[in-house]
Amino acid sequence: MAYKIIQEPASEPVSLDEAKIQCKVDHDADDVLLAIFIKSAREKAEHLTGRAFITQTLEFTLDSFPASEIILPVSAVQEVLSIKYISTTGDEVTLPTQLYSLNDYGIKHSLKLAFGAQWPETQLESNAVKIQFVAGYGDADVVPGAIKSWMLLTIESLYRNRGAVTSEQNYEIPNRFYDSLLDSFRIWSI
C-alpha cells in the first residue's frame, strides 16, 4: 500500500511574497532558497496532517482489493479519476464507476462498493490495484489560515537556521505552539 504524486500542485499555499514578509527579506537574492523552504514546509505539513492542500493528482496502490471499503491515504479528496486492476488473467481492467462511490464525509475518505457489488479478484502481484484521484482544498485562498501560519513559522525557522550549526544563537519558535496549529487538521486514527 503506497501512493505517489502524479501531478504536482500548480502553486503553493504560501506565496514567495508572504514568505519574504515573514522572514523580513527585502531583496531577491534568497528567492530560490525561500521557494525550497516553502515547498519543504508544505510537504512536511501535508505529511503531518495526512491531507493534500493544493489540488493535485495522486495514485494509490494496493496488492489486492480489501474485503470492504478502501480507505484512501490522503484526505480532502475531490474526485476519483479511475480504479484499474490486474485481473486474474493478467489484463489491466478499469473498474466501472457505477460499482463504487467516494465517501467524502468525515476526516478519512474512502471508496465504498455499490449495493450488491463485490470487488473483483486480482492477479497476485504487488500494486495490482491502482487508484488515481484528485485531492486538495483547491487553491491557496481556501487553505486554512492555521496551516498557512504553521508553514510561515516553519519557513522562517528554516531561513534563520540555514546551517546545521551556526555561531549565532539559533532562532527557534517553541515547537509546542506552532506544531499545535496543525492539530485540528491531523488525522489521528482511521
What sign has the CA pseudo-torsion 108, 111, 114, 119? negative
Mean pLDDT of 158-172: 65
Rounded CA separation 16/28 (Å): 10
First-to-last alpha carbon distance for the chain, in angstroms, is: 15
CATH architecture entry for 2-53+140-162+170-185: Orthogonal Bundle (1.10)
Q: Could you tell me whether strands 129-135 and 77-86 are parallel, antiparallel, or unpaired per DSSP bridges? A: antiparallel
The pTM of this model reads 0.83
Tally of residues, the chain? 190
pLDDT, tens digit (0-9, with 9 covering 90-100), for 23-61: 999 999 999 999 999 999 999 999 888 899 999 999 999
- Cα atoms in the 13 Å half-sphere on the side-chain side of 95: 29
Closest CA to 40 of 158, 149, 134: 158
Residues 96, 102, 103, 109, Cα dihedral to 10°: 120
Give every strand in the sheet of 77-86, ordered side by side: 2-7, 56-62, 129-135, 77-86, 92-94
pLDDT, tens digit (0-9, with 9 covering 90-100), for 90-129: 999 999 999 999 999 888 899 999 999 999 999 999 999 9
Q: Tell me, what's the pLDDT at 177?
A: 57
Report the range out of 13-17, 157-161, 163-167 with the highest average pLDDT: 13-17
Answer yes or no: are the C-beta atoms of 85 and 122 closer than 8 Å: yes
Name the average pLDDT for the chain: 89
pLDDT, tens digit (0-9, with 9 covering 90-100), for 119-145: 999 999 999 999 999 999 999 999 999
Rounded CA separation 189/138 (Å): 24
Mean pLDDT of 156-183: 66
At 138 the three-state DSSP class reads: strand
- Each domain of the chain, given as residue ranges in start order, spans 2-53+140-162+170-185, 56-135
